[in-house]
Structure 1
Amino acid sequence: MRVLGADHPDTLHSRHGLALAFEATGQVAEAITLHEQNLTDRQRLLGPEHPDTLTSRDKLAQLRDLRLNDQ
Structure 2
Amino acid sequence: MTSACNRVLTSLEAAIELEAIWLQRNNRETERIMASRRVTAQEVVGMLFELSSDHDYETDSASEAEEEERF
Q: Same fold (TM over 0.5)?
A: no
Structure in which a larger fraction of residues adopt helix: 2
Name the TM-score, length of structure 2 as normaliser. 0.31
Higher relative contact order, chain-length normalized (CA < 8 Å, sep 6+): 1
